[in-house]
Amino acid sequence: MKKKIIIFGSGYHAIVIYFEILKQKKYSFLGFYDEKNNNKIILKYKNKRENNLYKDKKFKINNYKGLGIIGVGHNHIRRDLYNYILKKNKKILWETIISQNSKISLNVKIGEGCFIMSGCIINNNTIIENHCCVNTRASLDHDNYLEKFASVGPGVITGGNVKIQSESYIGIGSVIKNNILIGKNTVVGGGSFVLKNCLSNSLYFGSPARKIKKINKKFNYLK
């Protein structure tokens, strides 16, 4: 019997998750839940239109007891949406979606609500906490630690024993050498080479990466 699942969100990131769900063939996809896209058809695939569930009067988020995953790429928005949903319904079971084209060591621990995209390599003793995102072809070496709501962009490479604290983002194609700590709510710009620890609430960029400025949680690193 297939597992029923909802994607919370309806943007590009949500659609990537949707196609991964289709490939795995073990889920019954119920739809996208997004209160900001009122009655908008957001996807058409094989002549099938996927609509937002919330416009169905029979669907109530507070009564839903199936699986869910948050399809939002921006760390802070993903966290805020999670908190919003939690206030309405604490019974949702958060599913982790791992691409069949990824390579995960046997002793890696991955929390709930995560999305591991195609081509990723995650090495032994790495821990990934809840609601993290590891984007396409990222490579995390041994003993890495991603705290909740953190994410790494496509093609990121980390050495061993790298810790990325909560809600931080490592931009596309960046490289982090071994034994580095990335503080909370910190952004490393795309193509950077990180050789030293990065402070919390900061933007780093360059090769080697240098602190550019202080940032807050309103900083839109994906625009």
Q: Identify the CATH number of the domain in which residue 8 sits.
A: 3.40.50.20
Would residue 218 count as lying in a domain?
A: no
pLDDT mean values, one per 10 residues, the chain (223 residues): 89 92 90 70 60 60 89 96 93 96 97 98 98 98 98 98 98 98 98 98 98 94 87
pLDDT at position 37 is 67
- Residue 167: CATH number of its domain: 2.160.10.10
Tell me the two tokens of residue 95.
């599913």
Q: Are residues 107 and 90 in the same domain?
A: no
109 and 19 assigned to the same domain: no
What pLDDT score was predicted for residue 1?
83
Strand, coil or helix: 70: strand
For residue 49, being part of any structural domain is answered with yes
* CA nearest neighbour of 136 among 166, 110, 172, 104: 172
Reported as type and span, the H/E element at residue 81 is: helix 75-88
Q: What is the pLDDT of residue 39?
A: 45
| Residue 103 near residue 121 (C-beta atoms within 8 A) | yes
Domain end: 61, 94, 127, which one? Answer: 94
- The domain in which residue 38 lies consists of 3-94
The pLDDT value recorded for residue 217 is 87
pTM of the model as a whole: 0.91
Quick one: which of 94, 127, 100 has its CA closest to 116?
100
Total domain count, the chain: 2
Report the pLDDT value the prediction gives residue 31, as an integer from 0 to 100: 83
Q: Please give the Cα distance from 64 to 9 (Å, whole number).
A: 16
